[in-house]
Amino acid sequence: MRKLMKYLKSYRKECIIAPLFKLLEACFELFVPLVIVRIIDVGVGQGDKTCVLQMGALLIVLAVIGLSCAVTAQFFAAKAAVGFSTKLREVLFGHIEGLSFTEVDQAGTSTMITRMTSDVNQVQSGVNMTLRLFLRSPIVVFGAMIMAFTIDVEMALVFVVAIPLLALIVFGIMLITMPLYKKVQGGLDKVLGITRENLTGVRVIRAFHQEQREEERFQENNQNLTNMQKFVGKISACMNPVTYVIVNVAAIVLIYKGGLKVEIGDLSQGQVVAILDYMAQILVELVKLANLIILMTKAMACADRVAAVLEIGENADDDAEGERTTAGDADAEDRKVPFISESVRGRKGGFLTFDHVSLKYKGAGEETLEDVSIDVRRGDVIGVIGGTGSGKTSFVNLIPKFYEATKGSITLDGKNLQDHDETELRKRIGVVPQKAVLFQGTIRSNLLWGKEDATDEEMWRALELAQAKEIVEGKDGMLEAEVAQNGRNFSGGQRQRLTIARALIRRPEILILDDSASALDYATDAKLRNSIKSIKDETTTFIVSQRASSIRHADQILVLEDGRVAGLGTHDELLENCEVYQEIYYSQYPEERKGAMSVG
């Protein structure tokens, strides 16, 4: 919690004013029993109606002042708590946005969402209630005890016994429940993760008739969460009845002793009532304090979880440096030598160079990419092909530094990629990921993601290159046409073409198309490839595809198998010398295999 307190610095005034006015309210409240003594002993006991009216008016004044102080305190406490949580969410969101793909993978999406919503809300409530009650309740408790001593020392000794006993129970329960609340929030992460999976994969679940299985999985985790909440709730629920028992036992003792003292004339009836009022105040405040402790326990557990997210990435640079090695450390085990054509072998001085690059995801047992080398000239079209899980997406994700190579080096314009500023680097790159993602808004707002100051002419040019012009022209409002969340009101092929247009609008130096034409028909795919050729001189393009037809005209084709280079060359060279490429190509064009065999 202490790590988050710096976000309260902007609300120092509110953090002082709120407890101060609560303190004033408590002080005025402590005077009420003394006024009651005066009403009973003088007004009622002696039949002095004037005293009753005067003391009654004083009670009204104390009530008005106390109410004004309470409202003022709650206003400033709420202002500080809401402002604090707003700042915390901003910082947390900005931090998450700046995390690398590795760090996001490590933390998990569902827990990030939980910590930014539920956990921050709990922390906000904790700050609010702490500012309102943390000083008030102890002041009332100890103030009531001191005021009781001014009335009768012997009677006040009951307070001396009851208050430490109550404190022991309250803080004992707090120490027990704090780690349990952390487990409850962890269980909430799991339930949220399952819910998110089911919502995003609902079509797959229904296609394979797995509704019952997913319901059972959800019920199991939800029941575990419920059981944890019940268990910690039972422990927390013990606080109120136990405190009530102790306070009421103390009240019985006070009434018994007070009755005896009134009988012998040591105390007046009004003084006994005043002492009981102070005990009642202590009871109310201890119940409030007990509830505050429960809330603070939850808030502290949630604050630790939020702080843990903010700590992610602090030592990432050191860890990455420790994991990364040089090209000379590459594994020298014997393996099948890949086919690399003479046209690309030994090519130097390229625009983008991969030199014996390997990649191992954090926590993975094996390397995803191993000893990959390729030299790319400016304006080249590079095709990347291979079987499922061969490392194609991992390879292109290294270029914009979504992940960092664990071995070898990548240079851009002769400068190591690690030395390039991340923001400036990504401004030079246009990426179309495997999953086409559109954001809620309009077509125009989605295209402006690619270039904030893009003109209408630039937008239409990008749409034309991406073969998406006809899509926009067919919509009411055209560029102002509405886009639903995740682009649900567009087909898969339409979403892909619009995301390609979004990447093209910035006229990137490097364009990465990661299997971004999988939903397009062959004719549209061919038109798209011809459009890309028209910008060849200004843009270096990486095309990741399962279709051999999409990359057959590339300047170089990188063939990957199990993370290793199986072949590198042109289509004709690979078709002649690379078995992996032959297998992929002829599986898609079996009639050409027959032709090749007949010629052979």
Bridge partners of residue 560, in order along the sequence: 386, 565
Pick the closest to residue 399 from 315, 238, 508, 299 (CA basis). 508
Q: The tokens of 476 are what?
A: 């009411």
Count of CB atoms situated within 10 Å of the CB of 487: 21
What's residue 148's pLDDT? 80
Q: How far is CA 378 from CA 375, 393, 433, 513, 554, in A?
A: 10, 21, 22, 16, 13
The rounded distance, in Å, linking the Cα atoms of 169 and 287 is 12
| Range 462-484 average pLDDT | 85
What's residue 72's pLDDT? 92
Please, is 518 exposed, middle or buried when counting C-beta atoms within 10 Å of its C-beta (0-12, 13-18, 19+)?
middle
The helix or strand, by DSSP H or E, that contains position 375, with its residue range, turns out to be strand 369-376
pLDDT at 319 over 60: no
pLDDT, mean over the chain: 81
332 confidence band (pLDDT: 50, 70, 90) = very low
Encode pLDDT of 192-224 as tens digits.
888 888 887 888 888 888 889 899 999 999 999
357's CB contacts (< 8 A; 6+ apart) are 369, 371, 372, 373, 398, 405, 407, 408, 409, 410
Strand, coil or helix: 491? coil
Count of CB atoms situated within 10 Å of the CB of 113: 16
The rounded distance, in Å, linking the Cα atoms of 495 and 488 is 9
What's residue 596's pLDDT? 55
Name residue, tokens 């702080």. Answer: 307
Could you give the strand order of the β-sheet that contains 369-376, starting from the edge strand earlier in sequence? 369-376, 352-359, 407-412, 415-416
The rounded distance, in Å, linking the Cα atoms of 289 and 144 is 15
Q: How far is CA 133 from CA 242, 286, 463, in A?
A: 21, 11, 60
What's residue 219's pLDDT? 92
Pick the closest to residue 292 from 140, 437, 148, 404 (CA basis). 140
The rounded distance, in Å, linking the Cα atoms of 16 and 116 is 27
Span of 119-133, 171-185, 384-398 with lowest mean pLDDT = 171-185
Count of CB atoms situated within 10 Å of the CB of 291: 16
The rounded distance, in Å, linking the Cα atoms of 366 and 359 is 9
Encode pLDDT of 474-489 as tens digits.
888 888 888 888 788 8
* Phi/psi of residue 490, nearest 5 degrees: -125, 150
Most confident of 420-434, 536-550, 585-599: 420-434
pLDDT at 161 over 50: yes
294's CB contacts (< 8 A; 6+ apart) are 173, 174, 177, 236, 239
The helix or strand, by DSSP H or E, that contains position 588, with its residue range, turns out to be helix 579-588
pLDDT at 28 over 60: yes
Encode pLDDT of 120-156 as tens digits.
888 888 888 888 887 787 888 888 888 888 888 888 8
Strand, coil or helix: 438? coil
pLDDT at 504 over 50: yes
What's 117's DSSP letter? I
What's residue 321's pLDDT? 47
The helix or strand, by DSSP H or E, that contains position 471, with its residue range, turns out to be helix 469-473
Residue 363, Ramachandran bin (φ over 0: left; ψ between -120 and 50: alpha; else beta) = left
What's residue 300's pLDDT? 82
Encode pLDDT of 46-101 as tens digits.
777 888 888 889 889 888 988 898 899 999 999 999 988 889 888 888 888 877 77
322 confidence band (pLDDT: 50, 70, 90) = very low
Q: How far is CA 267 from CA 108, 144, 150, 242, 280, in A?
A: 67, 18, 12, 30, 19
The rounded distance, in Å, linking the Cα atoms of 252 and 18 is 36
Q: CA 34, 35, 36: angle at the middle one, nearest 5?
A: 90
Q: How far is CA 37 from CA 45, 145, 279, 593, in A?
A: 10, 16, 15, 107
What's residue 348's pLDDT? 60
Q: Answer yes or no: are the C-beta atoms of 88 and 173 closer than 8 Å.
A: no
Q: The tokens of 455 are what?
A: 């003109």
pLDDT at 334 over 60: no
The rounded distance, in Å, linking the Cα atoms of 378 and 552 is 19
Encode pLDDT of 528-538 as tens digits.
777 777 775 67
The rounded distance, in Å, linking the Cα atoms of 379 and 80 is 55
What share of the chain in percent tops pLDDT 70?
Answer: 91
pLDDT at 557 over 60: yes
Q: Which amino acid is at 247?
A: V
Span of 20-24, 301-305, 313-317, 570-574 with lowest mean pLDDT = 313-317
Bridge partners of residue 382, in order along the sequence: 542, 556
Domains of the chain: 11-312 (1.20.1560.10), 432-507 (3.40.50.300)
pLDDT at 506 over 60: yes
What's residue 345's pLDDT? 63
pTM for the predicted model, two decimal places: 0.65
Strand, coil or helix: 331? coil
Contacts 24+ apart (CB under 8 A), 453-460: 454/505, 454/506, 458/505, 459/501, 459/505
| Range 269-298 average pLDDT | 78
pLDDT at 337 over 70: no
The rounded distance, in Å, linking the Cα atoms of 485 and 303 is 31
Encode pLDDT of 238-279 as tens digits.
877 887 788 788 888 888 888 888 888 787 888 888 888 887
